[in-house]
Amino acid sequence: MKAVLIQLLLVGLMLMMGGAVASDRVSLPKYPQPVGDQCVEPTDIMRREHMNFITHQRDETVYKGIRGIAARHSLKDCIDCHVGYDAQGRAVPINSEGQFCESCHNYTAVSIDCFGCHRTTPDEVSKVRQFTGKP
Amino acid sequence: MSYLFAILFYVSLGIFAVGLALKIRQYWNTPAPLKIPTTPAPTTQAGVVFRMFREVVFFESLFRAAKWTWIFGWMFHLGLALAFVRHLRYVVSSDAFVWPLINNWLVQFAGQYASLMMLVGLLGLLGRRILVDRVRYISAPSDYLMLILIIIITVSGIMMSFVAPIDIVGLKAFMTGLMVLDWQELPSSVFLIIHLGLVAVLAIIFPFSKLLHAPGVFFSPTRNQVDNPREKRHISDWAKNSGLDSADGV
Ligand code: HEM
């Protein structure tokens, strides 16, 4: 009786952990390589604080009207550099499975609603040209 | 640092698991010689399960005994439960079938803000020990230490959650790395080091501390017995087959 209970408990725990125990290597989020060789802030800071940068930028834009090149942490720019492209060269929405924002947020159980309003692929007049010189 | 913490985690979780298992075995094997459910008590087994449910989820008897202690204690424990569910994101793989239950806005949001309720509850409980004369008189150093330990863990967690964010991807890699023996770097953050260091301390002292009330409540004879002494004679396990169990043996 006791032994059965304990075994049930252990099996239950292992099932819960699921995939993590199934492989012998740590899995990490995978997404397409971004454009350029550096982000708008040092990478390790972006990793921790990107949400603060973009929400701060939103306030700057919406309240003070700061747009375009002066808007250093514009959400549009994130997409310009970080969006992935399919075999036909069309941009894949950045919030779809395996793409930049989604893969990382799925890995860490983060849900965002920004893309209910904001576009998920680059604009025709994207600022990516200014960053990369690409047409 | 990463290796130090990896070793600390293996050791502390080992002590926690083995210590807790031994304690539960001890509780399991401790005889309950007398029929002593606190009345009014349920007269059926299903009733006892329901009573235990109310005790564990709502702290019923504490509610009847002391309203202030109940409100702070319950805030803390409810917050702890919600924050615990949010913490599962650091160890459960995003391929696991339970992942949709964790990767869920409501669960994560509730877990994040529940920490504030937890802190209020903890400060209330600490205040009770300091401000209420009767309680101060019976408080031992370990009572304060446990509260302070958990308060510091909570505050460092709140700092990471609301003030100084850390590299969550790196942390998840570290934690899942511990589980699959593929060790990863621990992200650098003072608050994370405080948080995890004290969590390890907590895990080590848990099996020797008053926090054992968590498994212990299920073994309380005053709560887990059916009120049926007339219908069914109560004989302690050790008294069975000893000759004492006959009608005139006692
Ligand atoms: C292996 C064990 C643990 C790990 C890896 C861990 C890790 C973390 C991390 C990374 C955060 C920050 C969350 C964020 O940035 O959003 C956090 C927050 C927090 N932790 Fe822990 N923690 C552990 C154990 C505990 C324990 C045992 C307690 C309770 C006493 C606790 C209480 C909290 C609280 C209250 C918060 C703030 C609310 C939240 O964001 O969930 N943690 N923890």
The pLDDT score that the predictor gives to residue A36 is 84
Average pLDDT, integer, range B35-63: 94
Q: B235 lies in a domain?
A: yes
Between B237 and A20, residue with greater pLDDT: B237
**B248 falls within a domain:** no
Report how far residue B172's alpha carbon sits from residue B187's, in angstroms, rounded to the nearest whole number: 10
Q: Does A30 touch chain B (CB under 8 A)?
A: no
Residue B149 is predicted with a pLDDT of 97
Mean pLDDT of B118-143: 96
pLDDT in tens, A14-63: 655 554 455 678 889 999 999 888 899 999 999 999 999 999 999 999 99
- For residue B201, tell me if it sits in a domain: yes
pLDDT for B235: 83
How close does chain A come to B5, measured CA to CA in Å? 17
Confidence of residue B239 (pLDDT cuts 50, 70, 90): confident
The partner residue sitting opposite B89, judged by closest CB among A24, A27, A109, is A109
Asked if residue B5 has pLDDT above 80, the reply is: yes
Tell me the backbone φ, ψ of residue A91, rounded to 5 degrees.
Answer: -65, 135
| Closest by CA position to A121, among listed A101, A103, A94 | A94
Per the DSSP assignment, residues forming a β-bridge with A91 are: A85
Compute the distance between CA of residue A26 and CA of residue B81 in angstroms, rounded to an integer.
Answer: 27
Spatial neighbors of B58 by CB under 8 A, at least 6 apart, are B74
Predicted ipTM of the assembly: 0.84
Whole domain around residue B184: which residue ranges? 2-242
Establish if B84 belongs to a structural domain: yes
Span A75-92, mean pLDDT? 89
In a domain, B152, yes or no: yes
pLDDT digits (tens, 9 = 90+) for A98-125: 999 999 999 999 999 999 999 999 876 6
Residue B249 covered by a domain: no
Q: What tens digit of pLDDT does each residue of B153-190 get?
A: 999 999 999 999 999 999 999 999 999 889 999 999 99
DSSP structural state of residue B162 = I
Task: Determine the pLDDT at residue A127.
Answer: 54
Instruction: Round to whole Å and give the CA distance between A90 and B80.
Output: 46
The pLDDT of residue B31 is above 90: no
pLDDT of residue A3: 56
Total of domains in chain B: 1
Residues with CB under 6 A from ligand 1: B 80, 83, 86-87, 90, 111-112, 115, 118, 150, 153-154, 157-158, 160-161, 165-166, 171, 175, 195-196, 199, 202
CATH of the domain at B151: 1.20.950.20
In a domain, B250, yes or no: no
* C-beta atoms of B169 and A28 within 8 A: yes
Over 60: is that where the pLDDT of B206 sits?
Answer: yes
Q: Which atom of ligand 1 is nearest to the CA of B171?
A: 10
Atom of ligand 1 nearest to the CA of B115: 35
Task: Place B245 in a pLDDT band, splitting at 50, 70 and 90.
Answer: low
Please judge whether A109 and B102 are an interchain contact, meaning their C-beta atoms are less than 8 angstroms apart: yes
Q: Say what the pLDDT of residue B250 is.
A: 46
d(CA A34, CA A17): 31
Average pLDDT rounded to a whole number, residues B217-237: 90
pLDDT of A25 = 82
